[in-house]
């Protein structure tokens, strides 16, 4: 098991390097295919009054005249040993791991990422707990009460959840629950858990519910389908015949067997969400990785794009590793490392 | 089954009733305000809405993006310049008064307007004595000199205005105080004593007072300057100082204990605090403004399309809005380097044939888009005069007969084909291009639409002369907003042929007339404000006679007026609410 985990972590690191190299290549090599030069690249990072001399200066400062492999090597080196940055009035040292300085704000990227990871984690974990509890329990009840009004209405609600885009439900939620009724926090409200847990909870309640509404639909339907399949199996009939309580039969035998596909989906969903719940953070103006990513991409800010991509890739990889380990827990037939 | 159906129907009815009730009112109904003034449309346009001297309270603002920068040496957005007056005092500023007075300069850090000598090549300002930074240190003229010089370092501050580099007689190769340490800069700026600063220019410039109002003249203490990081804590010279600053997220201002009202005839400094949230969803900002949860959208460029319908459709909400004209023109460049537009009559055919109403509709109509433009200078610019060289018919949809006459005169009686460039990310520019495509087709001018990415629009495409010529970009949608409401600020970057670079990048993509350049030079050098202002309209007319620009709309914005604030009025200088005057009702 330990060897398996170590092997997977090594593979993760290799993957992160491949992803970063790909991002570098896309940023620098693709524009060259359409005739971009270091100066035309630099025009994005100067003001509208910039002279050709300023454009040249910035192209030099940002390293656009250096070969791509050299710029990439410099970036990788900074992650391990840090880098120095000319802030004008003095030279600043960016300690390792240094993910560079934003082309736009001239601020180091790593502290920004550290600041934003807890926000996205808070959003993702809270929403995940809600959507798993409600999604799975709805799916179980629907499967057990197949064809009932409860089954139909919950599946109908699930359809709404998966169909309605989050920028619709989110803004609607804010309008009604925050601004008209005053039950939940306004957009842009976020207080770190360590500062005020009560306010942290209040600020995230509506984003959790809206995000969970969208995801739980999928889980409800998957659970229902899985349960319907497993509850018809012979071993369920055997379990009942042995005199086990219905709750025992449903949860330990029925639900457990239906969990495997749910785990797979959960791993993907959670990993991607932690990498950046872009739309949710955008709608609720939460200062997380998703919002950071949007701003980075819109501004063509390579260091930020690289930073957020690395973090997102890392979380996707870790989430999938955890899911693979959980398979062994859920399904005794699975042996990790084989 | 029937019983279950009845239950279902009843439940649905209750739900619908509940939703209707929720829709019908809000916790802070738009018709009720906490101010004494009666809401009316344009209630703050040219007068003070809800005047009051009441002190105290917190003003809440939000920005849908990041602040461009809090550093006065580099900031280049109107909303930031407007807001900066709370924590910084430049040599001059615009009067904090509604109406035309808001476009007039008045001394702030300085005691009076600049005194020109040497034909306008030297400008002297006396600084008020006793004005202090937030830490109690007295502000000296050397601090203003340092502030201006540091802003010249474009490697550290690449985004700021470049007027001082353009006009000051700086030593050759000067790169700012960080990289050119110890270099004598007295050729550009001298400070004979602690309260006098003298600017020495390369050429006469009658409008130098407009440079003196730039945030780059807000004093910076050299000992506390941290270069690119200074924006993390700007040392205040205004009535407020930074309390918290979380870059990219939010910041707040609190009262500056070292600010003395006796030295400041411009600001009343009524609120106790300002709280600004950054990167807030733009639609959410509008919802919060309407509900009263937020006081101001600090960017001040108007509501989003989603809220526009609500504002226009609901008289109660419309009464809570203002519709100022901006110092901004949306227009289309007509490029004389692309045949047959090298012939002035062919260009005039476009001027006559263009559907002006369609142009206005493309930009959002008269309320959200703007007023139909017939000149290059918007009405907010002192010296503006109304004229219309190419009347577009009674309904402003184009004069087909006159257009065809012009086409015959230029040897293209059946029309011609050319391309029109627009910025792909801007739906209004696409709609403009489509409108022109339709209206010009009536006289046989066939336009092919060419979208380009806005990030490279001027550097590589529509503003790149070789690209324009090689790809036959006869027309290019364009727009310009003045850095300040003055003829020089408005015209110099869009009608001076000398700003056009073969490597691309300038907003002037089409105007090439040496006579216009000469007229600009004469006007720029004139030190008498009234005489200078009288010269802008003739330049406007000359460019329109050349037909290098097809004016579209004088931009307008639709702003939601804050419900809970006092002293609300539109600043004509910034075309948004004056942030330095507000109080909490």
Residue B4's pLDDT is: 47
Q: What pLDDT was estimated at residue A335?
A: 61
Rounded distance between C-alpha atoms, residue B60 and residue B128, angstroms? 31
Cα distance between residue A294 and residue A300, in whole Å: 10
If phi > 0 it is left, if psi is from -120 to 50 it is alpha, else beta; for residue B583 that is beta
- CB contact (8 A) between residue B505 and residue A50: yes
Comparing CA positions, the residue from B259, B287, B281 lying closest to residue B133 is B259
B225 has a chain A CB within 8 A of its CB: yes
pLDDT tens-place string over residues B113-163: 999 999 999 999 999 998 999 999 999 999 999 999 999 999 999 999 999
Give me the DSSP letters along A49-117. T--HHHHHHHHHHTTTTS-HHHHHHHHHHHHHH-EEEE-SSSEEEEPSSP--B-TTT--BHHHHHHHHH
Distance CA A56, CA A36 (A): 14
Q: How confident is the model at residue A276 (pLDDT cuts 50, 70, 90)?
A: low
Packing angle, helices B514-525 and B536-546, rounded to 10: 170
For residues A57-63, give the mean pLDDT: 90
Q: Are A169 and B10 in contact (CB under 8 A)?
A: no
A59 interaction partners in chain B (CB closer than 8 Å): none
CB atoms under 10 Å from CB of B479, counted, come to 20
pLDDT at B31 over 50: no
CA distance A19 to A30: 16
Which chain A residues contact residue B293 at CB under 8 A? 178-179, 186
Condensed to tens digits (0 to 9), the pLDDT of residues A138-174 reads: 888 888 777 888 778 877 887 888 888 888 999 999 9
Looking at CA atoms only, how far is residue B513 from chain A in angstroms? Answer: 22
Query: Which residues 10-39 of B have a C-beta within 8 angstroms of A?
Result: 22, 25-28
H-helix or E-strand containing B240?
strand B240-246
Report the percent of chain B where pLDDT is more than 90.
85
Q: Å from B459 to nearest chain A CA?
A: 7
Distance from CA of A53 to the nearest CA of B (A): 9
Mean pLDDT of the B3-11 span: 46
Residue B404 distance to chain A (closest CA, Å): 38
- Measured between beta carbons, the chain B residues lying within 8 angstroms of A282 are 281
Of the two residues A34 and B145, the one the predictor is more confident about is B145
Token pair in block for residue B416: 């011609």
Q: Is B154 on the interface with A (CB under 8 A)?
A: yes
Q: How far is B226 from chain A (nearest CA, A)?
A: 5
Nearest Cα to Cα of residue B227 among A161, A299, A330, A90: A90
Q: CA torsion B47→B50→B53→B55, rounded to 10°?
A: -130
Give the whole-angstrom CA distance, residue A5 versus residue A11.
10
Q: Answer whether B248 sits within 8 Å of A90, measured CB to CB.
A: no
pLDDT, mean of residues B30-37: 48
Tokens of A32: 């060259």
What's the whole-number average pLDDT of chain A?
85
Please name the residues in contact with B7: beta carbons below 8 A apart, sequence gap of 6 or more.
none
pLDDT digits (tens, 9 = 90+) for A251-264: 777 777 777 778 88
Concatenating the DSSP letter of every residue in B91-123 gives SEEE-S-SGGGGGSEEESSBSSS-EEEGGGTEE
Which pairs with CB-CB distance under 8 Å and at least 24 residues apart come from B141-144?
A: B141/B191, B141/B193, B141/B194, B141/B195, B141/B196, B141/B197, B142/B191, B142/B194, B143/B219, B143/B220, B143/B221, B143/B222, B144/B91, B144/B109, B144/B191, B144/B197, B144/B217, B144/B219
Q: What is the pLDDT of residue B9?
A: 43
Angle at alpha carbon of residue B531, lines to B535 and B499, rounded to 5°: 40
Alpha-carbon gap: B3 to the closest alpha carbon of chain A (Å): 13
Is residue B16's pLDDT more than 80? no
Whole-angstrom CA distances from B408 to A156, B246, B275, B349, B427 are 67, 63, 62, 9, 34
Minimal Cα–Cα distance from A81 to chain B, Å?
22
Average pLDDT over residues A86-114: 90
Closest B-chain CA to A37: B460
Q: Do A105 and B281 touch (CB under 8 A)?
A: no
Beta bridge partners of B334: B475
| pLDDT band, residue B383 (cuts 50/70/90) | very high
Whether chain A has a CB inside 8 Å of the CB on B108: the answer is: no
pLDDT in tens, B58-72: 999 999 999 989 999
Q: Are A204 and A186 in contact (CB under 8 A)?
A: no
Tokens at B373, concatenated: 């433009």
Which residues are CB-neighbours of A178 under 8 A, at least 6 positions away?
Answer: A184, A185, A186, A187, A206, B293
Between A and B, how many CB-CB pairs are < 8 A? 148
What mean pLDDT value characterizes chain B?
Answer: 92
- pLDDT tier for residue A239 given thresholds of 50, 70 and 90: confident
Q: What percent of chain A has pLDDT above 70?
A: 96
Tokens of residue B188, six digits: 């550009």
Contact call for B280 and A295, based on CB within 8 A: no
| Closest CB from B154, B176, B283 relative to A171 | B283
Mean pLDDT of B339-343: 96
Residues of B (529-568) whose Cβ lies below 8 Å from A: none
Q: Cβ of A54 and B501 within 8 Å? A: no
Distance CA B108, CA B131 (A): 11
B7 pLDDT higher than 60:
no
Interchain contact B265–A (C-beta under 8 A): no
- Which tens digit of pLDDT belongs to each residue from A195-238? 999 999 999 999 999 999 888 888 888 888 887 887 777 877 88
- How many Å from the N-terminal Cα to the C-terminal Cα in chain B? 59
Residues near B166 by beta carbon (within 8 Å), at least 6 away in sequence = none
What pLDDT, on the 0 to 100 scale, is given for residue B20? 37
Return the closest-CA partner of residue B335 out of B170, B473, B497, B521. B473
pLDDT computed for residue B11 by the predictor: 46
- Residues from chain A contacting residue B62 (CB–CB below 8 Å): 188
Query: d(Cα A208, Cα A277) in Å, to the nearest integer?
Result: 11
* Stretch 157-186 of chain B: residues touching chain A, C-beta under 8 Å: 157-163, 165, 176, 178
**pLDDT at residue B23 tops 50:** no
pLDDT of residue A237: 80
Nearest CA in chain B to A34: B460
Alpha-carbon distance of A305 to A22, in angstroms, equals 12
Pairing of strands B370-372, B115-117: unpaired
How far is the C-alpha of A320 from the C-alpha of A274, rounded, in Å? Answer: 12
Q: Does B248 touch chain A (CB under 8 A)?
A: yes
- Contact across the interface for A285 and B277, Cβ inside 8 Å: yes
- Are the beta carbons of A83 and A98 closer than 8 angstroms? yes
Minimal CA separation from B430 to chain A, in Å: 20
Task: Using a CB–CB cutoff of 8 Å, tell me whether B286 touches chain A.
Answer: no
β-strand pairing of B321-322 with B417-423: unpaired
Predicted local distance difference test score (pLDDT) of residue A334: 63
Best residue in A151, A170, A179 to probe B by mutation, most B CBs within 10 Å? A179
Residue appearing with tokens 């057990």: A144
**C-alpha span between B508 and B494 (Å, rounded):** 4
pLDDT digit string, tens, across residues B191-228: 999 999 999 999 999 999 999 999 999 999 999 999 99
pTM value?
A: 0.87
What pLDDT score was predicted for residue A41? 84
Interchain contact B503–A (C-beta under 8 A)? yes
Q: Look up the ipTM and state it.
A: 0.84
pLDDT at residue B36, as a whole number: 61
């Amino acid at each position: 098991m330990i060897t398996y985990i170590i092997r997977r972590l090594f593979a993760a690191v290799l993957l992160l390097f491949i992803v970063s190299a790909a991002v570098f290549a896309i940023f620098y090599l693709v524009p060259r295919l359409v005739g971009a030069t270091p100066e035309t690249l630099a025009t994005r990072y100067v003001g509208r009054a910039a002279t050709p001399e300023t454009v040249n200066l910035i192209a030099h400062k940002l390293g656009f005249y250096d070969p791509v492999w050299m710029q990439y090597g410099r970036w990788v080196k900074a992650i391990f040993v840090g880098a120095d940055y000319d802030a004008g009035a003095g030279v600043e040292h960016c300690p390792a791991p240094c993910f560079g300085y934003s082309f736009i704000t001239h601020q180091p990227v790593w502290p920004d990422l550290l600041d934003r990871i807890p926000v996205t984690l808070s959003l993702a974990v809270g929403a995940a707990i809600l959507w798993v509890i409600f999604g799975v329990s709805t799916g179980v009840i629907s499967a057990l009460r197949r064809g009932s009004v409860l089954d139909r209405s919950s599946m109908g609600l699930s359809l709404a959840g998966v169909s309605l885009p989050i920028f619709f439900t989110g803004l609607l939620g804010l309008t009604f629950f925050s601004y008209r009724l005053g039950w939940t926090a306004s957009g842009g409200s976020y207080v770190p858990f360590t500062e005020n847990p009560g306010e942290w909870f209040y600020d995230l309640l509506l984003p959790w519910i809206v995000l969970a509404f969208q995801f739980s639909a999928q889980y409800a339907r998957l659970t229902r389908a899985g349960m319907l399949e497993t509850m018809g199996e012979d071993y369920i009939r055997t379990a009942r015949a042995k005199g086990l309580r219905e709750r025992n039969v449903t949860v330990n035998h029925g639900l457990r067997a239906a969990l495997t596909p749910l785990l797979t989906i959960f791993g993907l969903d959670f990993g991607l969400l932690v990498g950046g719940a872009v739309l949710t953070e955008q709608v609720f103006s939460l200062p997380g990785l998703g919002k950071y990513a949007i701003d980075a991409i819109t501004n063509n800010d390579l260091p930020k794009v690289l930073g957020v991509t690395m973090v997102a890739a890392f979380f996707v990889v870790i989430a999938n590793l955890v899911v693979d380990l959980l398979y062994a827990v859920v399904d005794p037939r699975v042996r990790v490392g084989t | 089954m029937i019983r279950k159906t009845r239950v279902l129907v009843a439940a649905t009815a209750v739900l619908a009733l509940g939703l209707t009730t929720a829709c019908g009112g809000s916790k802070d109904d738009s018709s009720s305000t906490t101010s004494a003034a009666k809401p009316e449309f344009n209630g703050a346009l040219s007068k003070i809405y809800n005047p009051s001297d009441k002190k105290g309270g917190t003003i809440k603002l939000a920005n849908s993006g990041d602040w461009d920068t809090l550093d006065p040496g580099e900031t280049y957005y109107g909303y930031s310049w407007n807001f900066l007056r709370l924590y910084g005092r430049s040599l001059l500023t615009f009067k904090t008064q509604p109406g035309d007075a808001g476009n007039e300069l008045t001394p702030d850090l300085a005691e009076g307007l600049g005194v020109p000598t040497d034909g306008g090549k030297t400008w002297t300002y006396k600084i008020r004595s006793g004005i202090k930074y937030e830490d109690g240190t007295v502000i000296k003229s050397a601090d203003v000199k340092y502030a201006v010089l540091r802003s010249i370092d474009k490697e550290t501050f690449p985004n700021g205005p470049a007027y001082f580099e353009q006009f000051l007689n700086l030593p050759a190769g000067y790169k700012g105080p960080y990289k050119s340490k110890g270099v004598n800069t007295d050729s550009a700026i001298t400070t004979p004593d602690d309260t006098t600063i003298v600017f020495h220019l390369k050429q006469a410039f009658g409008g130098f007072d407009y440079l003196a109002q730039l945030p780059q003249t807000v004093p910076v203490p050299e000992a506390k300057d941290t270069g690119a990081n200074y924006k993390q804590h700007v040392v205040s010279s205004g009535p407020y100082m930074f309390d918290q600053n979380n870059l990219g997220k939010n910041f707040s201002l609190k009262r500056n204990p070292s600010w003395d009202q006796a030295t400041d005839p411009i600001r009343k400094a009524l609120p106790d605090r300002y709280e600004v949230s950054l990167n807030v969803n733009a639609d959410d900002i509008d919802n919060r403004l309407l509900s009263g949860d937020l006081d101001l959208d600090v960017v001040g460029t108007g509501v989003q399309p989603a809220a526009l319908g609500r504002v226009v459709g609901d008289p109660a909400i419309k009464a809570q809005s203002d519709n100022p004209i901006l110092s901004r023109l949306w227009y289309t460049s007509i490029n004389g380097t692309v045949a047959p537009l090298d012939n002035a009559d062919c260009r005039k055919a476009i001027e006559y044939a263009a559907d002006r109403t369609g142009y206005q509709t493309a930009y959002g109509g008269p309320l959200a888009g703007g007023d139909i433009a017939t000149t290059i200078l918007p009405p907010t610019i002192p010296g503006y005069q109304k004229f219309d060289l190419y009347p577009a018919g009674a309904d402003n949809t184009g004069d087909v007969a006159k257009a065809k006459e012009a086409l015959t005169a230029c040897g293209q009686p059946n029309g011609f084909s050319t391309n029109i460039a627009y910025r792909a990310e801007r739906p209004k520019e696409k709609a403009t291009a489509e409108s022109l495509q339709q209206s010009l087709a009536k006289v046989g001018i066939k336009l092919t639409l060419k979208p380009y990415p806005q990030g490279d629009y001027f550097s590589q495409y529509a503003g790149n002369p070789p690209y324009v010529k090689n790809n036959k970009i006869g027309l290019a949608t364009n727009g310009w907003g003045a850095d300040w409401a003055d003829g020089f600020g408005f015209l110099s970057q869009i009608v001076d042929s000398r700003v056009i670079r073969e490597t691309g990048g300038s907003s002037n993509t089409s105007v090439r007339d040496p006579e216009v350049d000469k007229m600009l030079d004469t006007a720029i050098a004139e030190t008498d404000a009234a005489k200078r202002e009288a010269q802008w309209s003739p330049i406007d007319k000359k460019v329109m006679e050349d037909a290098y620009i097809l004016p579209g709309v004088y931009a307008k914005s639709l702003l939601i007026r804050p419900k809970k604030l006092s002293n609300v009025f539109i600043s004509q200088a910034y075309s948004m609410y004056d942030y330095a005057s507000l109080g909490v009702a």
